[in-house]
Amino acid sequence: MRTLICGSLAFDSIMVFQDHFKHHILPDKIHMLNVSFLVPEMRREYGGCAGNIAYNLKLLGGEPLIMATVGDDFSAYAERLDAHAISRDYIRHIAARTPRRLSSPPTLPTTRSPPFTLVR
């Protein structure tokens, strides 16, 4: 059965912590908790709501149709969708836009009237 899935396609950056937090959070020092931990490894996984749902639906024998917009870093994700025979027909690529530089900063008025009127 064909199912339209509207949502995001994203890369998940997963930080791999090699230890247990219980070894680093001391109960008698909880009042000065430092939540900075060394994370020597980071994984990049395929994610996003639409991507996850489509992948699992495909594993169950369905025919997912993803409706999403993607950016310039989509090529690796596109290859994965193709490898799993997941349609890209309703995925739209939007190219990155370079911000326009202003020749000089805009000037703001020195006095401004409020955007509303007080009624008493």
Q: Given a cut of 80, is residue 34 above it in pLDDT?
A: no
Q: Which domains does the chain have, with CATH numbers?
A: 2-93 (3.40.1190.30)
Question: What is the pLDDT averaged over residues 97-102?
Answer: 64
Q: Given a cut of 70, is residue 102 above it in pLDDT?
A: no
Q: Rounded mean pLDDT of the chain?
A: 84
Amino acid at 67: M
- Report how far Cα 24 is from the mean position of its chain's Cα atoms: 29
The pLDDT value given to residue 8: 96
pLDDT band at residue 111 under the 50/70/90 scheme: low
Q: Tokens at residue 23, please?
A: 């070894």
CA–CA separation, 99 and 19 (whole Å): 43
Q: Tokens at residue 47, please?
A: 């994610």
Dihedral, CA of residue 37, residue 38, residue 44 and residue 50, to nearest 10: 0
Let me know how long the chain is. Answer: 120
Distance between the two ends of the chain, CA-based, in angstroms?
A: 61
The pLDDT value given to residue 17: 82
